[in-house]
Structure 1
Amino acid sequence: MSSLQRIFLTGGSGYVGRNLITSLVAQGHAVVALARSEAAARAVEQRGARAFRADLLSGDLATGMQGCHAVVHAAADTDHVAGGGRQHRVNVDGTRRVIDAAGQAGVARVLLLSTESVLASGRALPGVDERTPLPRCSIGGYSRSKAEAERVALAANSEHLAVSVLRPRFVWGRDDTTALPQLCDAARSGQLAWISGGNYLTSTTHIATLCAAVSAALRHARPGEVYFIADEQPVQFRAFITALLETQGIAAPEKSVPRALLWALASLGDALAAVSGGRVRGPLTRQQFAASAVEVTLDTRKARRELHLRDAITREQGLDELRLLRSGVRV
């Protein structure tokens, strides 16, 4: 990617997308952001992008991509509970439409934002790297649809269209409208509990590091390649969640639930949901279990070597930033 580019972005009004717009615009790039509603259009325009009003599944995406050098596909249905047909349409069919439109518009590069959850099986994933094969049976609809989206995207890689994939894990930091609010709500309502003590390791990805990774990938990613993205050092899950809650003035819980019990409840709940067509559900899904109940740590040496990725901010600096923002200090 040369110094200044025109970039088409999907998912621009979401947590990751909003921050990507801010980062890319600050670097001098022009960003065209897909927006399916007036509210989404306002959100992306407030960040400095030009809104292109269309729907991921039905709009004329190629028109919005005209004159763009690259596409960053960040839009996704991240539901860890219901999944289903809509999730497949957004994540798989939506990816196929983005890839097809990029080819029609003559775009040179597509970057798909995926997830480490494509590897989720319910078992621990310690130190996994890009050579780890996808499981034969996905743990849930989110993992299944994102894995299929990766297959669709990478199959389109060619000499005319360079396609690469980034897989971040547990995105966190300022402006978080996803994980942190959910954690706070669960803690306040008394529904948050540690799983077998919560003393296993997890990888995390600060939003600033993810934005830096996207910029680096647009310049350096090899076509057809996948890259894990995360903060360099993993952290104990319980310690990190406790610190996140503390930044919001919330005390972490003490109660703990056995992992085997939760796995049994999740498996039963998924079975009931399948039999009832989703009308009956358990307290959690196996998809949720896989995301937070076992060690998931990523080997990011490939991204650090090939993309020249570096942490944009330390974990403690990110936590301090959240504390300052809560106290009303502009940072």
Structure 2
Amino acid sequence: VLKAASPHLRVCALRPHLIWGPGDHHLFPRIIASAHSGKLKIVGDGNNKVDVTHVDTAANVHLQALDALLAGKANGKAYFISQGTPVKLWEFVNRLLVGANLKPVTQRISLRKAYILGSILETIWSLFKLKGEPPMTRFVAVELAKDHWFDVSAAQKDLGLKPAHNTWTALDALALTYRKSK
């Protein structure tokens, strides 16, 4: 996409990380289902920081990018998008769970064990052509245990990226909707 950038075709790439919020049918429902089943475990030491992006922040920055492109800015550039401040993943997950009236995750598994388990399960799923995804993969093990956050200063400067909501306030509000839906 970025290679297509020209004065006649203005393009930029937006790279939001871990989009969440109302209407999420992927991330939080899986976390809550895993917590209900007792299968959710903290992978690694539980101190890893990640970037998250509220859905409203993601939507707003698309409009801001359009404005920037129309003004002749941002053409041919890529931007990381998030709330702007990394959060401790497991603090974030546990706050959601507690707010939804579920028990916080306390059980742990080392990254090494989770990675080996992921490798074994991927092999089993592949050999037996099982449907769906394995409950653990090597990729998921690493994502749940390692820091992954990005510098969003270019999006702040060029596009005016700002969080649509305070991360924790929005998370508490979302957790309340899960609590009420029980």
TM normalised by structure 1 equals 0.49
Q: CA deviation digits over 1:188-241, x for unaligned, max 9? A: 001100012322111111111111111111111512211000012111111100
Q: 1:178 to 1:230 in 2, by over 3 A?
A: same
Using the TM superposition, give the Cα deviation of residue 156 of structure 1 relative to its aligned residue in structure 2, in angstroms. 2.7
Query: Mapping of 1:207-222 within 5 angstroms?
Result: 207-221=55-69, 222=74
Q: Which residue of 1 aligns with 2:106?
A: 254
In proportion to residue count, which structure has more strand? 1
Matches within 5 A, 1:1-331: 153-221=1-69, 222-273=74-125, 276=127, 278-279=129-130, 283-326=135-178
| Secondary structure at the counterpart of residue 25 of structure 2 | coil
Q: How many residues align?
A: 175
Distance in structure 2 (CA, Å) of the matches to 1:303 and 1:313: 17
Deviation at 1:162, TM superposition (A): 1.8
Q: 1:223 to 1:271 in 2, by over 3 A?
A: farther
SS at match of 2:83: coil
How big is each residue's C-alpha offset from its partner over 1:248-280, in whole Å with a ceiling of 9 and x where there is no partner?
111112110011111122234444555x37449
Deviations 1:100-152 (A, max 9, x none): xxxxxxxxxxxxxxxxxxxxxxxxxxxxxxxxxxxxxxxxxxxxxxxxxxxxx
Q: Distance in 1 between matches of 2:129 and 2:6?
A: 40
How far is 1:283 from its partner?
A: 4.1
Cα displacement string for residues 139-171 of structure 1 (whole angstroms, at most 9, x for unaligned residues): xxxxxxxxxxxxxx2233333222211111111
Residues 1:186 and 1:282: Cα distance change in structure 2 (over 3 Å): closer
Of structures 1 and 2, the one with the larger relative CO (CA 8 A, separation 6+) is: 2
Unaligned runs of 5+ in 1: 1-152
Q: Once the 2 structures are TM-superposed, how far is the Cα of residue 290 of structure 1 from its aligned partner? A: 3.5
How many percent identity over aligned positions? 27
Taking a change above 3 Å as real, the CA distance of residues 260 and 223 of structure 1, as seen in their structure-2 partners, is same
Structure 2 residue runs without a partner (length 5+)? none
Root-mean-square deviation (Å) = 2.2
Asked if the contact 1:262–1:289 (Cα under 8 Å) also holds between the matched residues in 2, the reply is: yes
